[in-house]
Each structure stands twice: as structure tokens, then as C-alpha cells.
Structure 1
Amino acid sequence: MTSSRYEIDDEIYITNLLTNEDIPSFVKYLNNPTIYTNTLKIPYPYSTNDGEDFIKFLKSESLNSTRFFTIRLQANNELIGACGLHRSVKNERRTEIGYWLGEPYWHRGLMPKVIKKVIEIGKNEWKNLVRIEAQIFHWNKASMRVVEKCGFTFEGILRKRVHKNGQDIDVHSYALILE
């Protein structure tokens, strides 16, 4: 597969390119207790083996169900985050969005720009897509603001929706309806 590059602004771009050379950036930015706390599947501490396993997993996924983009600095191509869509196999009209960004780049308005571009790409590639969902842990107010800036609507609280660290956690469910 050829890689695609999508410009976001003067500071960052996204691409579907991901190689083992990106693993040090994964380790650098994902060894963050706040990112771990706010995500379901990212381990902590994050190791080189975790990065290798993630790349293997992505290579095994079908482009029919998953689109994954790395967020990179224009200045040096360093990976600083990621954003992806995972489409339901049972309902191809629906997808879920997930994302993370390295802490030095928080509170700068970067993630809404990335999400809007990823949604645009998803709409263009998956013509029958009508619904994009985001499920956010109830304490993650910053992530809620991000999706709201992208046009997502709060639909409700899914009580005890996920299980992590021995706890059943409520999530706030957001959706963007594509019309």
C-alpha cells in the first residue's frame, strides 16, 4: 500500500504511514499515565514490544474496517499522536473514532483539526458511512470538548460500559451524523 500524506497546518500533517522506526515515538509519548487513564487499550508503561505488537495488529487489519493515521511534525516528521476510525463489521454505516496526542502538544487546538481531516477522509473512502461515534470516559472533559468542536453531539451516558483496572466505567457517548 502506498502512503498518503494530508496537510493539517504549518505545524503538523497526518499520514497512513507507520513503521517500526516510529516505535521510539510511541514509547516516548505513550509512557504517560494520563494517556493511559483516558484510553481503553493503550498499556502503561508502554514498551517497545507494545509498539511492535500494535504495528503487527494494524498490518493484520483490513482497510475495509480500519483507517489509522499518525500525526507528525512538519519540521522533522516525528510521530506525536494518532487518530483512527474502526468500522463495525456488522454495520458498515457506523464507525468509532479514537485518538491520542503527546502531552507537549495538548491545548493547542491540533486534535480538532486532525479529527476533521480524518472524518473527511473516512467520508470519501466509505461512501455509505452515516454515523461516527466517540466514547469518552466520564472524567475526560478535554476530549469531550474536542469532539464537540468537531460537531459531535452528546447522546447520553452509557453506564458501566467498559471495564478497566478492576472498575466498571461510565462513558459519555457522542455521535456525528453525516448528511
Structure 2
Amino acid sequence: MKLRRDGESVYVRPMKLDDAEALYEMRTRNQDFFQTYEPIRQKLVMTLEDYRDRISDDIQHWRDQTGFTFGVFLQETNEFVGRVSLSNIVYGAWKNCTIGYFMDQAHNGKGYTTEAVSLAVDFALTDGQLHRVQAAVMPWNQASVRVVEKVGFRFEGLSKWYLQINGNWEDHNIYAITQEDWNK
């Protein structure tokens, strides 16, 4: 199983405990930026140890094949710039997962998120042995809509009051991509 996926500008690989400090620094630096797009956390200030615990959980999910979380790194410098997660994995007849991602605000608009999502989808639909990857995107988040559309996700419909984001129940557009779409 090929865990690292290389693109032109970025590569993705499973998160390691050594990545905790970079994740902590990036999440701390981008806290206000990310809050618009995420649930309100019970614990507003997360420590470096909290991020180590989060990565430990990610590693266990890899072992159990219940989730695949990738760090996103720049090819030229190996700088950690984001994360892509394949979660809520269900095998059996469905073989489905959901994808979530975030990118350091300083690196937005450069195509890195699109490339990283594409690399993670490639993993999901090949080595991950999944048939379908689903994305839920708030309709007003046009940057994220562009990411999934560029990768090849198809629009499937609107889910009203789908997730509580930043304290509000937000509608989400549901997008999906399957092996049939990917192998064209």
C-alpha cells in the first residue's frame, strides 16, 4: 500500500507524532480564520499535548482502517501546510467515507488544497479500497466548492441544517466522487 502521494507542488502522507508541533503552530496561527468553517470546540485553547493526542488517534484510525488522515507538505521545503482527512469510513456494500480538509491561510489560493484533496481521493479509491468519497460544503464557501468541483466531485443535493458550524446550523451541499468517476 502506497501511503505517500506526491503531486507537483505538495505531497500528502500520514500524520506522525513528530508533526504535532507544526500542527499546533499552524492551528494556533489560523484559529480565527478556521473558526468560520468549523464547529465551536469545547476547549478553546488546545495545547501541544492535545495535538499529540489527536495525531495518536489518527494513527489508531489508520490501524483500524476507520480513518485516513494525511498531512499536506510543500514539495520544495517539506513545510507542513494543511491536513486532509478521510473519515466515517464504512466498508461492506457501501465502501464510503467523508473527506474534510484545511489549509494554512497563508497558502490559500495557490492550488495546494485542490492538489492535496485529489491525492487523498486517489488513495481512497485505490489503496483505501473505497468506492465513494463524499464531501459536504457550505454553499457560501465558494473556495471549497471550487476545490471539490476541480477534483471531479459531482453535486448530489442540498442537506438543510446539516452541521453546526461556528455555533449555527448550516446547510451543506453534498458532493461525491466514485471509482467510476475517477477511472474515466
Q: Which runs of 5+ in 2 are unaligned?
A: none
Partner of 1:39: 38
Match 2:16 to one of 15, 18, 23: 18
Report matched runs for 1:25-174 at 5 Å: 25-31=22-28, 32=30, 33-40=32-39, 44-61=44-61, 62-86=63-87, 87-88=89-90, 92-127=94-129, 129-174=130-175
For each residue in 1:51-90, what CA deviation from the matched residue of structure 2 results, as whole angstroms up to 9, or x when unmatched? 1221122133244221111111234422111112121367
For each residue in 1:90-141, what CA deviation from the matched residue of structure 2 results, as whole angstroms up to 9, or x when unmatched? 76421111111111110001111111111111111233x3221001123311
TM-score by length of 2: 0.81
User: Are the aligned partners of 1:30 and 1:36 in contact in 2 as well (CA < 8 Å)?
Assistant: no
Count of residue pairs the alignment pairs up? 175
Cα–Cα, structure 1 residues 36 and 18, in superposed 2: closer, same or farther, change >3 Å? farther
Cα–Cα, structure 1 residues 34 and 13, in superposed 2: closer, same or farther, change >3 Å? same
Q: Supply the AA of the counterpart residue of 2:47.
A: S
Q: Which runs of 5+ in 1 are unaligned?
A: none
Distance 1:95 1:89 in 2: 9
Cα–Cα, structure 1 residues 14 and 126, in superposed 2: closer, same or farther, change >3 Å? closer
Secondary structure of the equivalent of 1:77? Answer: coil
Distance 2:163 2:124 in 1: 26
Q: Supply the AA of the counterpart residue of 2:97.
A: T
TM-score by length of 1: 0.83
